Amino acid sequence: MEPVYRLTISCPDRVGIVARVGDFFAAHGGWIVQANHYSDPATGRFFMRHCVRLDSLPFDLQTLKEKFTPIAEEFDMDWQVRDSRVKKKLILMASRESHCLADLLHRWHSNELSCDIPCVISNHDTLRDMVEWHGIPFFHVPVDSADKAEHFARVNAIVEEHKADAIVLARYMQIIPPELCDRYHGQVINIHHSFLPSFVGAKPYHQAAERGVKLIGATCHYVTRELDAGPIIDQDVIRISHNDTVDDMVRLGKDVEKMVLARGVRSHLEDRVLLHGNKTIVF
Amino acid sequence: MEPVYRLTISCPDRVGIVARVGDFFAAHGGWIVQANHYSDPATGRFFMRHCVRLDSLPFDLQTLKEKFTPIAEEFDMDWQVRDSRVKKKLILMASRESHCLADLLHRWHSNELSCDIPCVISNHDTLRDMVEWHGIPFFHVPVDSADKAEHFARVNAIVEEHKADAIVLARYMQIIPPELCDRYHGQVINIHHSFLPSFVGAKPYHQAAERGVKLIGATCHYVTRELDAGPIIDQDVIRISHNDTVDDMVRLGKDVEKMVLARGVRSHLEDRVLLHGNKTIVF
Amino acid sequence: MEPVYRLTISCPDRVGIVARVGDFFAAHGGWIVQANHYSDPATGRFFMRHCVRLDSLPFDLQTLKEKFTPIAEEFDMDWQVRDSRVKKKLILMASRESHCLADLLHRWHSNELSCDIPCVISNHDTLRDMVEWHGIPFFHVPVDSADKAEHFARVNAIVEEHKADAIVLARYMQIIPPELCDRYHGQVINIHHSFLPSFVGAKPYHQAAERGVKLIGATCHYVTRELDAGPIIDQDVIRISHNDTVDDMVRLGKDVEKMVLARGVRSHLEDRVLLHGNKTIVF
Amino acid sequence: MEPVYRLTISCPDRVGIVARVGDFFAAHGGWIVQANHYSDPATGRFFMRHCVRLDSLPFDLQTLKEKFTPIAEEFDMDWQVRDSRVKKKLILMASRESHCLADLLHRWHSNELSCDIPCVISNHDTLRDMVEWHGIPFFHVPVDSADKAEHFARVNAIVEEHKADAIVLARYMQIIPPELCDRYHGQVINIHHSFLPSFVGAKPYHQAAERGVKLIGATCHYVTRELDAGPIIDQDVIRISHNDTVDDMVRLGKDVEKMVLARGVRSHLEDRVLLHGNKTIVF
């Protein structure tokens, strides 16, 4: 796709928002190639995402921001505008399971995911070779189960050092401490191996086997203080039968996990996910 | 949902369409509750659907049309605007199979489908009781296989008499003659019991069994002169296995057929389907 | 399909079961047209379902049972054998929502479901006409919310009078009292309008909207004392988005509910569902 | 799973097959842990797959084969028996697209696929590094488009040298010559990037875009002389919309392709796929 500015907006709904934004771009020759709107009837809040061809506008990102600010203030908008050519920096975190990490790395390596991956952090050294083959630095940051504070202090230092825009927990099996949940609100993407809100917490496939469900699933969500309860970005399921053991579920579930995580990460990278309380708008 | 005007537009893409339409509504206090856009990069054509709260505009449908006409002419638009309270008139046609007809009638009867059904036409008398129980007139119009002209003349007379907005072929197994395909272009909705373009024509489940496919499907499309080749509105599939006989496929396929047809009809009724050559935009 | 005897077995797993059962039928010329086996590695229990062509065996059901009994005792089997021509008696219960009831009635009426429906019971009179049009008696048994005992006493009397083999709760919104749960264990089939174990109890679509899930589902299960916690027969889901209101979920969910319930009922009618503690084997 | 002997059988259906096979294993203490049967009503052919615990039988594979031969001859069986511990040798072939190859290599590397991969053959050198990182030899065998005979002679030599049990075409874009199709009948697995029989041949996603379908798919099948017309092992689809360009379809389709290919390969490795003319039984 041609380079675009991506404008995302959330504001109280009222008459004239679409017209005002449309006028703004039209007045400067802006060519809108994608436009999405959503008006929440329950909360009266309005959400919008526009992609405008960069080469159709006569100014740069900074000028665009300056010129748009009065409109944003008039309508009391939460808003962002990004240049689609500027890649987000994504730090991946993993543990010992390789399927989600390998999948994301391959998508990045084959140019399917447009982002930079400054490094991978893991509490185990298992996946170092795979990561380094891709030319990506690998940080092994062990966890002392008696005191995890040091682990998370080092993780936070690495994230800050690399100025990451988002952190993807690709089956990283540690619970993120509350202060990091808050600091990176809406920036930490997790994949949970169940169809939430079913089977929160540890060993969801064992819980699923115990309950005798006929479908298993995976959920990609933003991490918040409450475990596995943050805003859901995407979910999917796969059919199982009585024939499937917990080991089969783990194997079948991997495919759902990696697909759902990849879709969620892609939506995040393309600025398609807007937060609305504990829910998401995914354009 | 609150009553709305539904505006659908198709025109050559250029800068300023969204702004002009947005301005038009904003100038009159129009509250846009749904908005969809699509710009086809291959053909340079632009498509749009807006729902504007009826109670937010100070004029009636006729005035709205008059006031919008200059904009439509300036941008060379194909356009329509409808009042969501005015129900479309749908004539259903069936043969002897009841599943699609029963499904549509039940959705209508339970107020899930917002339309009028002035009558049902069938080349068999089999389903008369079911139709009449719903309080809908039933016309049995037999087909003489040696000369189908009389059948279609009567069908056409009934359609004209009832001023139908659309005709739904709910497993009506006759081929529509070319002149009717042309006269009701974009108004005749068919359900074909295969995942088109596979298995065009008669006995698609037998063809599917012969080929040994692992999924069977159904396709809802507008009828055109070329058999089973018109613009596709919706499709879906269901998994089968070697265990499934042709009879099983027929049975399993019924569920897909009726679901896909109902979704296609609903999209048509809500003015969500825009034609683009032999393809559809479904907002 | 040709008439068959359906033999279902559950017993402790050990060497020789398949051989012994196979020998038994072979010795009498029995033609096995379907055979399913499952051995649970966790519990060491074995499950089996055989369909044997009725016209290939030289004796009637009673004689078959007598001749098979020694084998059943030797292997400590829970077992049943049924003649596929003998239709099960299914009593349907509903409230005011028609979609599941209409769907089951249509499947029965068009010979897709092989069963007898001696009557329909409802706590409202709303659906009487629809039921009676099918030639099925309709019992309106109102519920006094202060004292539901009388309601369930009458329901039980009707079930006993009609010698029902199974009861299908087609969106019957009352909680079955514990003594009826026990009396009809494995015979009462419910459809719950969520993907269990998520959203147990009342208003699951409201719960789903609150949580912001991206798929909604339905679960067909046997009723037990614990609400919405009985053995699951089948489940399915449908994708939703932020655009879908609770009303949209209710509408979209109806299609999932009726499909899942119909599949579950069909499996039950064909003796495909074997209980295994709080789980099911569905052959 | 514990090590097993996998017995697969195809023979004319008649009374007593199940009993005879069951007796044979029971007589030697054989513990059947999985059993599947299918009787084709159209052709009167019977198919069977049994997994018998290796440690429950008192003899080795060779003795098992000798002892079973009289039964096989009596019932005119096509049959095979394999030791689940003996890994099949799979040669992968690819071109420049990496998604299917990377997916299979990762599944193999993480012990999800139980097989040996003696080498990868490609008509391009693009994927050498990825393959060699896994410790697998990579053969670059260029194709001279004017004369492909030399290419296929070398491919055949490599396949023979490595005594491959099967060849997987992981988006290898060359048409296999007829003599190789015949020589490796039932051993060459291809992934075609459409829902066959729709869109045979080149550029299926372009064909799909042209036709305006609402789902795209992929098909895993055995290669035969007729292009894209061999026995289908597995298929799947993914939903698209008018918004998706051909490039989007290519990207979305990759996920379907690699999933369907991996499932098909797994079924083949576990001896679950039995050929029945131009169709498959997949247990």
C40 and chain D in contact, CB less than 8 A = no
Query: Rounded to whole angstroms, what are the CA distances from B107 to A229, B266, D126?
Result: 36, 10, 55
Q: Which residues in chain A are closer than 8 Å to D110, comparing Cβ atoms?
A: 98-99, 102
Evaluate whether C232 touches C196 at the Cβ level (below 8 Å): yes
Nearest CA among D279, D213, C103, D257 for reference residue B194: D213
Contacts of D179-186 with C-beta under 8 Å, sequence gap 24+, read: D180/D152, D180/D155, D180/D156, D181/D223, D181/D224, D181/D225, D182/D225, D183/D156, D184/D159, D184/D223, D185/D222, D185/D224, D186/D222, D186/D231, D186/D275
φ, ψ for residue D262, nearest 5 deg: -65, -40
**Is A106 in contact with D112 (Cβ distance < 8 A)?**
no
Distance from CA of A259 to the nearest CA of D (A): 8
pLDDT of residue C1: 73
pLDDT digits (tens, 9 = 90+) for D243-282: 999 999 999 999 999 999 999 999 999 999 999 999 999 9
Element (H, E) at D247: helix D246-269
pLDDT of residue C212: 98
Min CA distance, C237 vs chain D (Å)? 15
- pTM (2 decimals)? 0.97
Tell whether the torsion through CA atoms of D53, D55, D58 and D63 is positive or negative: positive
Residue A246: pLDDT over 80 = yes
* Dist CA C175 CA C143 (whole Å): 11
The Cα of A165 is separated from the nearest Cα of chain C by a number of Å equal to: 24
What SS3 class is residue D63?
Answer: helix
Classify strands A166-169 and C45-53 as parallel, antiparallel or unpaired.
unpaired
- Say which residue the tokens 């046609």 belong to: B93
Q: What is the pLDDT of residue B1?
A: 73
Residue C178, number of CB atoms within 10 A of its CB:
11
Chain C neighbors of A256, CB-CB under 8 A: none
Of the partner residues A18, A26, A29, the one whose CB lies closest to the CB of residue B32: A18
Look at strands C279-282 and C273-276 and give their pairing.
Answer: antiparallel
C16 touches chain D (CB under 8 A): yes
Nearest chain B residue to C101, by CA: B106
Q: Which of D194, D264, D259 is nearest to D222 (CA)?
A: D264
Q: List pLDDT tens digits, range D66-125.
A: 999 999 999 999 999 999 999 999 999 999 999 999 999 999 999 999 999 999 999 999
- The label of the residue with tokens 């929440």 reads A40
- For this structure, is C55 an active site residue? no
**What pLDDT is attached to residue A1?**
73
Q: Which of C2, C98, C101, C110 to mutate to test the interface with B (most CBs of B within 10 A)?
A: C110
8 A C-beta contact, residue D10 and residue D77:
yes
Residues in chain C: 283
| Domains recognised in chain A with CATH numbers | 4-83 (3.30.70.260), 88-282 (3.40.50.170)
* Chains near A (3 or more Cβ pairs under 8 Å): B, C, D
Q: How far apart are CA C186 and CA A10, in angstroms?
A: 51
Q: Which two tokens stand for residue D53?
A: 């615990």
ipTM for the whole complex:
0.96
- Inter-chain touch B213–D196, beta carbons under 8 Å: yes
- Any chains having at least 3 CB pairs less than 8 A from chain C are A, B, D
Q: Cα separation of A214 and D161, whole Å?
A: 45
Any chains having at least 3 CB pairs less than 8 A from chain D are A, B, C
Directed axis angle between helix A61-74 and helix A17-27, to 10°? 150
CA-based nearest residue in chain B for residue A37: B35
- The predicted pLDDT at position D9 comes to 98
Q: CA end-to-end span of chain A, whole Å?
A: 17
Q: What is the largest CA-CA distance in chain A?
A: 63
Cβ pair B232:D213 closer than 8 A: yes
Region B126-139: mean pLDDT is 98
For residues A64 and A28, is the Cβ–Cβ distance under 8 A? no
pLDDT, position C43: 94
**Do the Cβ atoms of D170 and D92 come closer than 8 Å?**
yes
**% chain C with pLDDT above 70:** 100
Give D-chain residues touching C35 at CB under 8 angstroms.
18, 35, 37
Shortest Cα–Cα distance, A199 to chain D (Å) = 24
Question: What is the band of C78 on the pLDDT scale with cuts at 50, 70, 90?
Answer: very high
Q: What is the mean pLDDT of residues A252-266?
A: 98
Tally the residues of chain D.
Answer: 283
The count of other CB atoms within 10 Å of the CB of residue D175 is: 13
Is residue D187 a contact partner of residue D210, using CB atoms and an 8 Å limit?
Answer: no
Catalytic residue of the set C103, C165, C228, C244: C228
Nearest CA to C64 out of C18, D20, C72 is that of: C72
Residue B260 Cα, gap to closest chain D Cα (Å): 11
Among C112, C133, C259, the residue with its CB nearest the CB of B133 is C133
3-state secondary structure of B37: strand
Average pLDDT over residues D129-139: 98
By the 10 Å C-beta count (0-12 exposed, 13-18 middle, 19+ buried), B135 is classed as exposed
How far, CA to CA in Å, does B69 sit from each of B39, B63, B76, C196, C236? 22, 10, 10, 53, 48
**Spatial distance between the Cα atoms of A167 and A230, rounded to a whole number of angstroms:** 15
Q: What is the pLDDT of residue B266?
A: 98
Can you tell me the distance from the alpha carbon of A217 to that of A194, in angstroms, rounded to the nearest whole number? Answer: 5
Question: Measured between CB atoms, does C230 come within 8 Å of chain A?
Answer: no
Q: Cβ-count burial of D207 within 10 angstroms (0-12 exposed, 13-18 middle, 19+ buried)? A: middle
**Contacts of residue A37, Cβ cutoff 8 Å, sequence gap at least 6:** A18, A46, A47, A48, B32, B34, B35
Question: C112–B255: do the CB atoms touch at under 8 Å?
Answer: no
Instruction: Please name which of A40, A41, A48, A43 lies closest in space to residue A283, comparing C-alpha atoms.
Output: A48
Look over chain C and give the mean of its residue pLDDT values, rounded to a whole number.
97
Strand D120-122, strand D138-140: pairing: parallel
Q: Which residues pair with D93 in a beta bridge?
A: D121, D169
What's residue D106's pLDDT? 98
Structure tokens at C71: 């084998």
240-269 of B, contacting D, C-beta below 8 A:
241-243, 245
pLDDT grade, residue D1 (50/70/90)? confident
SS3 (DSSP) at C261: helix
- Residues of chain B with pLDDT > 90: what percent? 99
pLDDT, mean of residues D152-170: 97
Query: Would you call D22 and C22 a contact, using CB atoms and an 8 Å cutoff?
Result: yes
Helical (H) or strand (E) element with A63: helix A61-74
Does B39 contact chain D (CB < 8 Å)?
A: no
Residue pairs spanning A and B at CB distance below 8 A: 61
A281 and C195 in contact by Cβ < 8 A?
no
Strand C232-239 to C215-222 pairing: antiparallel
Which residues does chain A have within 8 Å of residue C259's beta carbon, measured at their own beta carbons?
Answer: none
DSSP string, C177-233: PHHHHHHTTTTEEEEESS-TTSS-SS-HHHHHHHHT-SEEEEEEEE--SSTT-S-EE
- Tell me if chain D has a CB within 8 Å of the CB of C32: yes
Angle between helices B99-109 and B246-269 (to 10 degrees): 40
Please tell me the number of Cα atoms within 13 Å of C218 on its side-chain side.
25
Report chain D residues whose CB lies below 8 A from the CB of A109: 98
Whether C37 and chain D come into contact, CB under 8 Å, resolves to yes
Distances (CA, A) of D46 to A157, C34, C116, C141, D279: 65, 11, 34, 52, 14
C282 touches chain B (CB under 8 A): no
Identity of residue C123: N
Of A145, A189, A16, nearest to B24 (Cα)? A16
**Range B46-52 average pLDDT:** 97
- Chain A residues 195-214 within an 8 A CB cutoff of chain C: 195-199, 211-214
Q: Alpha-carbon distance A139 to A151, whole Å?
A: 12
With CB atoms and an 8 Å threshold, state whether D242 touches B278: no
Q: Which of D103, D165, D228, D244 is catalytic?
A: D228
Q: Report whether B69 contacts B1 (CB < 8 A).
A: no
> Is residue C264 within 8 Å of C192, Cβ to Cβ?
no
d(CA C131, CA C120): 7
Question: Chain D residue with minimal CA distance to C37?
Answer: D35
Q: What pLDDT shows up at residue A39?
A: 95
Structure-block tokens of residue A3: 């380079």
Strands A88-94 and A120-122: parallel
Q: Which of D1, D4, D9, D15 to mutate to test the interface with C (most CBs of C within 10 A)?
A: D15
**Tokens at D281, concatenated:** 């039984």
Chain B residues close to C110, C-beta within 8 Å: 98-99, 102
> What secondary structure letter does DSSP report for B58?
S
Please state, in angstroms and rounded to a whole number, the distance separating the CA atoms of residues B208 and B219: 14
Stretch C146-165: mean pLDDT, rounded? 96
pLDDT tens sequence across D25-70: 999 999 999 999 999 999 999 999 999 999 999 999 999 999 999 9
Chain A hits for C197, CB-CB cut-off 8 Å, are: 198-199, 211, 213
All residues of chain A having their beta carbon less than 8 Å from the beta carbon of residue D102 are: 102, 106, 110
Residues β-bridged to residue C276 = C279
Catalytic residue set of A: 228
Is a pLDDT exceeding 80 seen at residue A178? Answer: yes
Residue A243 Cα, gap to closest chain C Cα (Å): 7
pLDDT in tens, D191-217: 999 999 999 999 999 999 999 999 999
Vertex C122: Cα angle to C120 and C123 (nearest 5): 165
B281–D contact, CB cutoff 8 A: yes
**Per-residue model confidence (pLDDT) at position A28:** 96
**A101-131, pLDDT tens digit by residue?**
999 999 999 999 999 999 999 999 999 999 9
First to last CA, chain B: 17
Report the pLDDT averaged over residues A49-59: 96
**Within an 8 Å CB–CB cutoff, is residue B140 touching chain C?**
no
